[in-house]
Amino acid sequence: MSWFHLAGKDLISTKDWTKEELEIALRVSEELKGMYYSGIPTPTLKDKTFIMLFFNTSTRTRLSFESAMTQLGGHAQFVDASTLRMSLEEKPGAGETIKDTAQVMARYAHGVGIRLLEDKVSRYGEDTEIMYKFAEHAQVPIINMASNIWHPCQGITDIFTLREKLGPDLKGVKYTIMWAY
């Protein structure tokens, strides 16, 4: 299996990907990082647009996605969800539906990232359900940039960093991960 297999694939939860697919993502990340730091251009996403739909603010998520798109030759478009007519409530007159918004975004971009969690949803798990609904209606990949349940890009990055620091085989290695706000 090659990285071409991942093209067009949503990343809402790492549970949706096989171990082999996650290994491919880690391997491609390692290759791209090596090329970047060696001064080799990596225009993999030349002329591609990635919409970053933020319901919740974040410094690192926004900067890392914008930087990555730029380094790969593409453009990241930041969208604050509060500036859209979209409504997460599926009731008449509440605003544009998730379906409509997903379809419109898919016409303007090659991928959409969504950061939706905490107080922006009414119940635990609703954020992930909304992302899957986006994926159902968008004809481009939907990337979860953080939800109450999943943070797949962070998880993949954590494994990548652990392998860089501790070696490729983490079996039996003990470590502690902590986050602080």
What domains does the chain contain, in order, with CATH numbers? 11-166 (3.40.50.1370)
Residue pair 12/30 in contact by the 8 Å Cβ criterion:
no
In degrees and rounded to multiples of 5, residue 140 shows phi and psi of -130, 160
- Can you list the alpha helix ranges (DSSP code H) found in the chain? 19-37, 59-71, 98-108, 126-137, 152-166
Is the model's pLDDT at 5 over the cut of 70? Answer: yes
Model pLDDT for residues 11-37, shown as the tens digit of each residue: 999 999 999 999 999 999 999 999 999
Distance of CA 12 to the CA centre of its chain: 7
pTM of the predicted protein model: 0.93
Indicate whether 61 pLDDT > 80. yes
Are residues 117 and 85 in contact, defined by beta-carbon separation less than 8 angstroms? no
Q: What confidence tier does 181 reach under pLDDT thresholds 50, 70, 90? A: low
8-state DSSP, 130: H
